Structure formats: structure tokens, C-alpha cells
Chain A
């Protein structure tokens, strides 16, 4: 298996623009996580999906952030409008039901100018 696949790996955009990050979880995994990593705050869970349903979105910073999982093999995290403080590395991760091990993608590094 190719692992968790994220795109784009790097994104540089200007303040106010819309940003869409994409994730393909490992086939057969039914849990999907979006995390954000910054030097100041470390790793933060943004949203957790189970069987394509959002279970916990309490970590989503504000209404500018939204996430969808239309099917078991694809998820998006959208930021609209983007702000400089959104600059971070965004990770997607997945795990299989009944197993505690979480597999991470290589992340999408977002820079908002």
C-alpha cells in the first residue's frame, strides 16, 4: 500500500485566497484525522471522521475551516479565506477499526503571505 497520500506537499498563497488540501487514506482504514502542526502549538487535532462521518470537529479553529469526506478514499480540508496565522503543516492520518496505530501522510506545508 502507498500509505496516506496528501496533496499538495507545499502551498504558498496570499491572504484571502481559498486553500484546499487533499487526502487519500490507506485503503480499508475507516478512521481519518486532520492535524495541524506549528512550532508554537505542536500537533493539534482539527477533525476526526469515522466511516466518512465527522465525529469530532471541536479542533477546527473557526468557520473559515471546513472538512469533508465524500467517500472512504478521499477527504479535503478547506480554508476560506486564508490568513497568515494559518501557516502550518497540515497532516492527514488514518487508522483501521480496532487498531490503535495511526498512519500519517507526509503533510502539506501551507504558507499564507
Chain B
């Protein structure tokens, strides 16, 4: 079955710790995205990558970092510099630009900072 997997589903972190969220896709998609969702708000773009070894900042990149060493994988690190990291994080992929291509979403990771 083709799709996107994210792990873990729930993640708890102490303040001051970095944590890495996993995102893997076997759809052979070039583009991958990380979004953050907070209650009552629309999804906001953290980082995106249109091709391996290249990525761009989204609207709320501060306190986050990513890598794209393989086409299938786009991990997100939430660093201690992120002031309010408790949120629901969604990874997505598409064949190309979402202006013309359907986006496929992973099941999400709910991060809670204790």
C-alpha cells in the first residue's frame, strides 16, 4: 500500500529538549511538506522540499529544522528554540507543486511539551 507514515503518533517532550518527528512516503513524490495545526487555526507551513537535498522555509520555520537526504524521508526536528511547540504536526507529499497536484497527508504526530 502506498502512503505516508508518521511516527510517533503521540510524543511528549520536556522543555529544553530537541525532538525529531519522522515522515516517510512510498508514493515516489518529489515534494514534501511539514505543517503545524493549532486549535481554531488553519494549517501553517513550517518547511517544504521540492527535491532531494533542497528545502525552503515556510511561514513559521523559526525553531524548526529539516533534512531531505532521501526522496522518501523528510524528518522534522523541533528544537528548544521553538517557543510554543505543543501542537499537531502533519506531513504531506505531492507529485509536484500543490498548485496543480493533490496533496497526500500522513496521520500526524501530536507533540506535547511538559
Q: Do A and B bind each other?
A: no
Report which B residues bind A (CB closer than 8 A). none
